[in-house]
Amino acid sequence: MKISDRLAYGILKRYGIETARYAFVKDRTHAERASKKLSFPLVLKIDSPEIIHKSDSGCVQVAFSENDLGEKFKLIVKNAEKLTKKIYGVILQERIDGKEMMIGSKVDEQFGPVICFGLGGIFVEALHDVSFRLIPLEKRDAVYMIKDSGAYDVLRSRGESNINAIVDTLLKVSRLIEKEGIRELDINPLMVNEKGAFAVDVRIIK
Amino acid sequence: MDGLDYLFKPESVAIIGASREPRKFGHVILSNFVKRFRGKVYPINPNAKELMNLKSYSSVLDVPDEIDFAVIVIPAEYVENALLECGKKGVKAVVIIPGGFSEVGENEREERLTEIARKYGMRLIGPNCIGIFDTYSHVDTMFSPMYKQDRPFKGRISFISQSGAYGTAIMDKAAAENMGISKFISIGNRADVDEIEMIKYLGNDKNTGVIVLYLEGTKNGRELFNALREVSVKKPIVAMKGGKTFEGSRATLSHTASLAGPSEIFKGMFRQSGVLLAENSEELFDFARALAYLNLPRGDRIQIVTNAGGFGVISADEIVENKLSMAKLSKNTIDRIRKILPSYAVVGNPIDLVGDADSHRYEKVLRYVMKDKGVDAVFVVMLLQLSALESDVVDVLISISSEFEDKPLVVCTTGGEFTQVHTRMMEKVSIPTYPTPERGIRAMKALIDYSRYRGMIRD
């Protein structure tokens, strides 16, 4: 069962995994108030356990300014209500530029908890460029799993600093999985830029 | 001796199901032992008095002496009783050849074998396997007759295979190609000894320099991982996982679950434990040969020396493709090499010795290349079809390899019968030789990867 995004972001935070700045809101007024602490453009995402593929169903919207925030809020809730009544709220999130990577985890029948890293985005299944390791991860494992994936060539042009940020994030996710007993996790995309690595979307299945 | 030692170096052997019918497995196995094994051999067959000039017994219990090791090669339904008799006799280790157990759903029948083995403290290989082949002790339970399947000579490569037939074919091929083998173990259904225990055993075996592993699955992933990690810091392990296709379930909730096929996870686990991953069956032994014959390089800078321009180019492409480095020779080395080569030869990387190169030209150039501090390993391409290059180039390569043994030298030579004869000669003296630049460079990459894993190369 997918846990609420609000809780999922909370878990990431507890383990020191950086995320795009966000606020969790229940209604339109709440959204308008919360948006003042964030900078536009903002991405709106439905938080519902029933909606797994948000972008396919109009449950991700972008508000470019305060002026269209209300309208986009209305639209996203309307789209979500077509699918389910179970809606926890909406996540307002700052947009981050960078290279789209992913970190994931699952419990394998033969090996127990494993972690993966690779090129992210909505085409991950088509790209099929991820490398796996068993949890717990050591630093050296994290370095080599990045080097083993095709993402390494994409990252190399940006220098060592963002690779270190990914290594750091991988080690934190490894610890998180070990401690929290999570069945499946996707951080996709993990946006990587010169400032670091930021979880932009997370999905946790308990 | 440890329990598993009795599988590989017993002093006495019983063949339960020994037969006089030449086509029967029990005949082939008995004849293997009669021909080469130095210890005592006891044929067990209630319907024979004598087999191959040896007295035959109707049960191991009738044999007057001690028996270290037994091979059971009778139909599945009689195995339990035979094993029980082995237990009572005090046999220490047993190979059970026949199928008809868990692989066809007869799980209880197999569990009874495990129970008997535990009760009497016997170690079991199989059932449903080819068993064991050891070039040092001549334990040989391979049931393909020698005229159909050659036996390889002594070497440092040991092979653990979950598939028996594949292993048999590899042994035959190894013999034809002069690849030295230490042990071959077909683990079958793993009723007792599994790949994990065998990996640990070979990790401590002084006759094993490289472990090759063919696996389709494991019963205990974490223990396998730990065993591999423990052994790979002592000696190289090359592995391949069979059964790569994976029908990812479309209904998975996460991207990760849809990407996580068993092969992908095996691959990552192998990498994490320092195991060298072979993409196909050719690579398994391509890598193993390089690792068994050569010392580990101190860096990844490769110099190509060739007598064929095109092969030099392809080799350079492969070096780049595999993320290795092209060596850059010092000006001093280049000047010296220029002096001994004709003006139309190209000196750089690759060094093209051109088509009229003879073995002396190879020798002089290789000596300078080996002495250059910017070179960690050398890839020699030699096309033997060219009239100037004579067989004595093999002697040159032998002497250069042994003089500069800290810089691995890998050879690529492509061609027909004449070339293959030379390839076999070089294999025999432990110069790893490959028929294409692709395979040669991939083997070199395995060597470099392992060197890096062992901390001999720093990034």
CB contact under 8 A, B253 and A116: no
Distances A160 to A15, A146, A152, A188, B455 between C-alpha atoms, Å:
23, 12, 11, 21, 21
Point out the domain boundary residue: A45, A74, A94. Answer: A94
The answer to whether residues A59 and A25 belong to one domain is: yes
Rounded CA-CA distance B238/A188 in Å is 33
Chain B residue at shortest CA distance from A107: B257
* Subunit contact B218:A188, Cβ cutoff 8 A: no
In this structure, what token pair is assigned to residue B63? 């044999």
For A103, the enclosing helix (H) or strand (E) is strand A99-108
Does residue A196 share a domain with residue A131? Answer: yes
Say which CATH number the domain at A198 has: 3.30.470.20
A123 has a chain B CB within 8 A of its CB: no
Q: In this structure, what DSSP letter does residue B403 have? A: H
The DSSP code for A140 is H
Which chain B residues have any C-beta within 8 angstroms of a chain A C-beta? 217-218, 221-222, 225, 248, 252-260, 262, 264-265, 267-269, 271-272
How many residues does this entry show for chain B?
459
**d(C-alpha A35, C-alpha A37), whole Å:** 5
Q: Name the domain count of chain A.
A: 2
Is residue B182, in this structure, part of any structural domain at all?
no
Tokens 């999570």: give the residue: A182
Residue B122, domain member (yes or no) = no
Q: How many CA atoms lie within 13 A of B435 on its CB side?
A: 11
CA distance A52 to chain B (A): 7
Phi-psi region of A48 (alpha: psi -120 to 50; beta: other; left: phi over 0): beta
Q: Which of B443, B363, B456, B455 is nearest to B404 (CA)?
A: B363
Mean pLDDT confidence for B187-208? 97
What is the per-residue DSSP string for B407-451? S-EEEE---SHHHHHHHHHHHHTT--EESSHHHHHHHHHHHHHHH
Give the structural domain span for A73.
21-94
Give the separation between CA A79 and CA A46, rounded to whole angstroms: 9
List the CATH number of the domain containing B412: 3.40.50.261
- At A151, the pLDDT band (50, 70, 90 cuts) reads confident
Backbone torsion region of residue B381, taken as left when φ is above 0, otherwise alpha when ψ lies between -120 and 50, otherwise beta: beta
- Tell whether A107 and A90 lie within a shared domain: no
What's the CA gap between B394 and B69, in Å, rounded? 43
Q: Report the share of chain B in percent with pLDDT over 70.
A: 98
pLDDT at A121: 82
> Residue A54: which pLDDT band, with cuts at 50, 70 and 90?
confident
Average pLDDT, whole number, for chain B? 94
Kindly state whether residue A163 falls inside one of the protein's structural domains. Answer: yes
Does residue B408 have a cis peptide bond before it, meaning omega lies within 30 degrees of 0?
Answer: no
Mean pLDDT on B19-37: 96
**Placement of tokens 């080569």 in the chain:** B341
- B225 to each of A12, A135, B182, B325, how far by Cα in Å? 28, 11, 24, 31
Mean pLDDT of B324-333: 97
Q: Are residues A77 and A131 in the same domain?
A: no
**A104 to chain B, minimum CA–CA distance in Å?**
5
Per-residue model confidence (pLDDT) at position B50:
95
Instruction: Give how far A131 is from chain B: nearest CA, Å.
Output: 6
pLDDT of B329 > 80? The answer is yes
Which pLDDT value is given to residue B249? 46
Same domain, residue pair A55 and A113: no
Under the banding of pLDDT at 50, 70 and 90, the label for residue A158 is low
CA angle B442–B443–B447, rounded 5-degree value:
115
Mapped onto helix, strand or coil, the DSSP state of residue A50 is: coil
**Assigned domain for A15 exists:** no
In a domain, B196, yes or no: no
Is residue B319 assigned to a domain? yes
Q: What is the pLDDT of residues B97-134, one digit of tens each?
A: 999 999 999 999 999 999 999 999 999 999 999 999 99
* Residue that is last in its domain, among A94, A117, A140: A94
H-helix segments, chain A: 5-14, 28-35, 66-83, 124-127, 139-148, 151-156, 160-180
Asked if residue A11 belongs to a domain, the reply is no
| Spatial CB neighbours of A136, under 8 Å, sequence gap ≥ 6 | A174, A175, A178
Shared domain check, A73 and A34: yes
Most B-contacting residue of A100, A110, A186, A187 (CB-CB within 10 A), to test interface:
A110
A119 plus A165 within the same structural domain: yes
**pLDDT single digits (tens) A6-53:** 999 999 999 999 999 999 999 999 999 999 999 999 999 999 988 877
Q: Which two tokens stand for residue A132?
A: 């796996």
pLDDT (tens digit per residue) in B134-172: 999 999 999 999 889 999 999 999 999 998 888 999 999
CB contact under 8 A, A108 and B265: yes
Question: B11 burial class (0-12, 13-18, 19+ CB within 10 angstroms)?
Answer: middle
Q: Is residue A182 part of a domain?
A: yes
**CB-CB under 8 Å, B271 with A148:** yes
Q: Do A120 and A179 fall within a single domain?
A: yes
The DSSP H or E segment spanning B214 is strand B210-215
Q: Residue B22 domain-assigned?
A: no
**Disruptive mutation site among B256, B275, B276, B454 for chain A (greatest number of A CBs within 10 Å):** B256
ipTM of the complex: 0.89
pTM metric for this prediction: 0.93
Give chain A's radius of gyration (CA, Å): 17
Cross-strand partners of A19: A199
The average pLDDT across A172-187 equals 95
How many angstroms separate the Cα of B150 from the Cα of each of A196, B20, B153, B172, B434? Answer: 59, 21, 10, 5, 21
Report yes or no: B243 and B216 within 8 Å, Cβ to Cβ: yes
* Closest listed residue to residue A175, CA positions, set A6, A7, A16, A18: A16
- The model's pLDDT over B231-250, given as tens digits with 9 standing for 90+, comes to 999 999 999 998 766 655 44
Judge: B265–A105 Cβ closer than 8 Å, yes or no.
Answer: no
Check which CATH number belongs to the domain holding A46 and give it: 3.30.1490.20
Task: Determine the residue type at A200.
Answer: V
Average pLDDT (B261-281) is 92
Question: Residue B316 has which token pair?
Answer: 């350079």
B336-381: pLDDT as tens digits: 999 999 998 989 999 999 999 999 999 999 999 999 999 999 999 9
**B94 beta partners:** B70, B124
Q: For residue A12, tell me if it sits in a domain.
A: no
**Contact between residue B42 and residue B128 where contact means Cβ atoms under 8 Å apart:** no
Q: Which domain holds residue B419?
A: 296-453
Distance from chain centroid for Cα B164: 14
What are the residues whose beta carbons fall under 8 Å from the beta carbon of B286, sequence distance 6 or more?
B278, B432, B434, B439, B442, B443, B446
Residue A104: inside a domain, yes or no? yes
CB spacing of A203 vs B260 below 8 angstroms? no
Q: With respect to residue B318, please indicate whether it lies within any of the assigned structural domains.
A: yes
Whether B268 sits inside 8 A of A114 (CB atoms) is yes
Give the β-pairing of A89-94 and A22-25.
antiparallel
Check residue B134 and give its pLDDT. 98
Contact residues on chain A for B248, CB-CB shorter than 8 A: 125
Same-domain status, A51 and A141: no
CB count in 10 Å sphere of residue A102: 26
- Per CB-CB distance under 8 Å, the chain B contacts of A108 are 221, 260, 262, 265
Question: Stretch B19-28: mean pLDDT, rounded?
Answer: 95
Is there a domain that residue B63 lies in? no
One domain, residues A116 and A195: yes
Side chain identity at residue B107, one-letter code: N
Q: Which two tokens stand for residue B376?
A: 């960690």
The residue ranges of DSSP E strands in B329-401, in sequence order, are 351-352, 377-381
Q: Please say whether the beta carbons of A178 and A113 come within 8 A.
A: yes
Residue B22 one-letter amino acid: P
Q: What is the pLDDT of residues B385-440, one digit of tens each?
A: 998 999 999 999 999 999 999 999 999 999 999 999 999 999 999 999 999 999 99
Contact B29, B71 (CB under 8 A): yes
**Torsion angles phi and psi, residue B192, rounded to 5:** -135, -80
Mean pLDDT rounded to a whole number for chain A: 91
Contacts of B274 in chain A (CB under 8 A): none
Q: Which of B85-89, B218-222, B250-254 has the lowest mean pLDDT?
A: B250-254
Tell me, yes or no, whether A193 and A121 share the same domain. Answer: yes
Mean pLDDT of A101-124: 91
- Domain annotation covers residue A73: yes
Contact residues, chain A, for B254 at CB < 8 Å? 104, 106, 184-186, 203, 205
Q: Stretch A130-141: mean pLDDT, rounded? A: 95
DSSP letter assigned to residue A2: B
Q: Is residue B248 part of a domain?
A: no
Specify if A9 maps to a domain: no
User: Is the model's pLDDT at B324 over the cut of 90?
Assistant: yes
CB A18 within 8 A of CB A196: yes
User: How many whole angstroms separate alpha carbon A54 and alpha carbon A58?
Assistant: 7
> Residue range A78-102: average pLDDT?
92
Q: Looking at this protein, which amino acid is placed at residue B400?
A: I
A105 contact residues in B (CB cutoff 8 A): 256
Are the Cβ atoms of A134 and B222 closer than 8 angstroms? yes
- Which are the contacts of B54, defined by CB distance < 8 A and separation ≥ 6? B34, B41, B42, B43
Number of domains in chain B: 1
d(CA B201, CA B231): 9
So what's the pLDDT on residue B261?
78
Q: Which of B259, B267, B271 sits opposite A125 (nearest CB)?
A: B259
